[in-house]
Amino acid sequence: MSLGPDEVKKIAHLARLGIREEDIPEYARNLSDILSFVEHLGEADTEAVAPMAHPLHATQRLRDDVVTENNQREKFQQLAPQTQDGLYLVPKVIE
Protein backbone atom coordinates (compact mmCIF):
# COMPACT_ATOMS: atom_id res chain seq x y z
CA MET A 1 0.00 0.00 0.00
CA SER A 2 1.28 3.42 -0.82
CA LEU A 3 0.16 6.87 0.34
CA GLY A 4 0.17 9.98 -1.82
CA PRO A 5 0.80 13.58 -0.71
CA ASP A 6 -2.96 14.34 -0.28
CA GLU A 7 -3.37 11.46 2.14
CA VAL A 8 -0.35 12.57 4.14
CA LYS A 9 -1.81 16.07 4.37
CA LYS A 10 -5.13 14.69 5.53
CA ILE A 11 -3.51 12.54 8.23
CA ALA A 12 -1.48 15.51 9.42
CA HIS A 13 -4.62 17.63 9.58
CA LEU A 14 -6.51 14.97 11.57
CA ALA A 15 -3.63 14.86 14.05
CA ARG A 16 -3.37 18.68 13.99
CA LEU A 17 0.29 18.50 12.96
CA GLY A 18 1.93 21.26 10.93
CA ILE A 19 4.25 19.72 8.36
CA ARG A 20 6.53 21.31 5.79
CA GLU A 21 5.72 20.80 2.13
CA GLU A 22 9.25 19.54 1.37
CA ASP A 23 8.99 16.83 4.05
CA ILE A 24 5.83 15.30 2.55
CA PRO A 25 7.53 12.84 0.16
CA GLU A 26 9.58 11.41 3.00
CA TYR A 27 6.53 11.08 5.28
CA ALA A 28 4.67 9.40 2.42
CA ARG A 29 7.50 6.90 1.94
CA ASN A 30 7.85 6.14 5.69
CA LEU A 31 4.12 5.75 6.27
CA SER A 32 3.79 3.55 3.16
CA ASP A 33 6.62 1.33 4.43
CA ILE A 34 4.86 0.90 7.77
CA LEU A 35 1.63 -0.03 6.01
CA SER A 36 3.41 -2.53 3.76
CA PHE A 37 5.00 -4.11 6.80
CA VAL A 38 1.66 -4.45 8.59
CA GLU A 39 0.19 -5.91 5.41
CA HIS A 40 2.13 -9.13 6.10
CA LEU A 41 -0.54 -9.86 8.70
CA GLY A 42 -3.00 -10.31 5.85
CA GLU A 43 -1.15 -13.50 4.91
CA ALA A 44 -2.23 -15.25 8.12
CA ASP A 45 -5.46 -17.23 8.02
CA THR A 46 -7.70 -15.62 10.66
CA GLU A 47 -10.97 -17.17 9.54
CA ALA A 48 -11.59 -18.94 12.85
CA VAL A 49 -10.00 -16.30 15.12
CA ALA A 50 -12.20 -13.87 17.06
CA PRO A 51 -11.10 -10.22 16.84
CA MET A 52 -9.02 -9.22 19.85
CA ALA A 53 -9.84 -6.07 21.81
CA HIS A 54 -6.83 -6.22 24.10
CA PRO A 55 -3.56 -8.18 24.14
CA LEU A 56 -4.03 -9.17 27.79
CA HIS A 57 -6.24 -12.11 28.62
CA ALA A 58 -7.95 -10.20 31.37
CA THR A 59 -11.22 -8.38 31.87
CA GLN A 60 -11.96 -4.95 33.22
CA ARG A 61 -11.88 -4.46 36.96
CA LEU A 62 -14.82 -2.35 38.11
CA ARG A 63 -14.85 0.48 40.62
CA ASP A 64 -17.60 1.09 43.21
CA ASP A 65 -19.75 4.13 42.49
CA VAL A 66 -18.28 6.33 45.21
CA VAL A 67 -16.95 9.88 45.03
CA THR A 68 -13.26 9.66 45.93
CA GLU A 69 -11.85 12.78 44.28
CA ASN A 70 -11.97 16.14 45.99
CA ASN A 71 -11.67 19.55 44.48
CA GLN A 72 -8.11 20.36 43.37
CA ARG A 73 -8.99 23.11 40.95
CA GLU A 74 -6.41 25.53 42.27
CA LYS A 75 -3.57 23.05 41.77
CA PHE A 76 -4.67 22.09 38.26
CA GLN A 77 -5.24 25.66 37.18
CA GLN A 78 -1.70 26.62 38.12
CA LEU A 79 -0.65 24.46 35.17
CA ALA A 80 -3.00 26.19 32.74
CA PRO A 81 -1.76 29.07 30.57
CA GLN A 82 -4.86 31.16 31.30
CA THR A 83 -7.91 30.93 33.57
CA GLN A 84 -10.74 33.22 34.63
CA ASP A 85 -13.59 32.77 37.13
CA GLY A 86 -12.62 29.10 37.54
CA LEU A 87 -12.76 28.46 33.77
CA TYR A 88 -9.88 27.35 31.57
CA LEU A 89 -9.44 29.87 28.76
CA VAL A 90 -8.63 28.77 25.22
CA PRO A 91 -8.45 30.63 21.90
CA LYS A 92 -11.98 31.47 20.78
CA VAL A 93 -13.85 28.52 19.31
CA ILE A 94 -16.34 29.32 16.57
CA GLU A 95 -18.60 26.50 15.51
Partner 1 sequence: MEWEAVIGLEIHSQLATNSKIFSGASTTYGAEPNTQACAIDLGMPGVLPVVNKEVVRMAAMFGLAIEAEMGEYSVFARKNYFYPDLPKGYQISQFELPIVGKGHLDIELEDGTTKRIGVTRAHLEEDAGKSLHEDFHGMTGIDLNRAGTPLLEIVSEPDMRSAKEAVAYMKKMHSLVTYLGISDGNMQEGSFRCDANVSVRLKGEEEFGTRTEIKNINSFRFVERAIEHEIERQIEILESGGEIIQETRLYDADKDETRSMRSKEEANDYRYFPDPDLLPVVMDQAVLDAARDSMPELSDARKARFIDQYGLRGEDAGQITASREMADFFEAALEVSGGSDAKIVANWVIGEFSGALNREGLSVQEAPVSAAMLGQLVKRILDNTISGKIAKEVFEAMWQGEGDADVIIEQKGMKQVTDTGAIEVMVDEVLANNPKQVENYRNAEEQKRGKMIGFFVGQIMKASKGKANPALVNELLKKKLDS
Tell me if 49 sits within 8 A of 42, measured CB to CB.
no
29 binds partner 1 (CB under 8 A): no
Q: Nearest distance from residue 58's CB to partner 1, in Å?
A: 5
Indicate the residue among 46 and 59 with the shorter CB distance to partner 1: 59
Indicate the residue among 49 and 67 with the shorter CB distance to partner 1: 67
Which segment (1-9, 26-34, 41-49, 83-91) binds partner 1 by CB under 8 A? 83-91
CA angle centred on 11, ends 8 and 12, rounded to 5°: 85
SS3 74: helix
Instruction: List all residues 6 or more positions away from 43 whose beta carbon is below 8 Å from its beta carbon.
Output: none
92 binds partner 1 (CB under 8 A): yes
Euclidean distance between CA atoms 88 and 81, whole angstroms: 8
Residues forming contacts to partner 1 in the complex (CB under 8 A) are: 10, 14, 16, 51, 53-54, 56, 58-69, 71-73, 76-77, 82, 84-93, 95
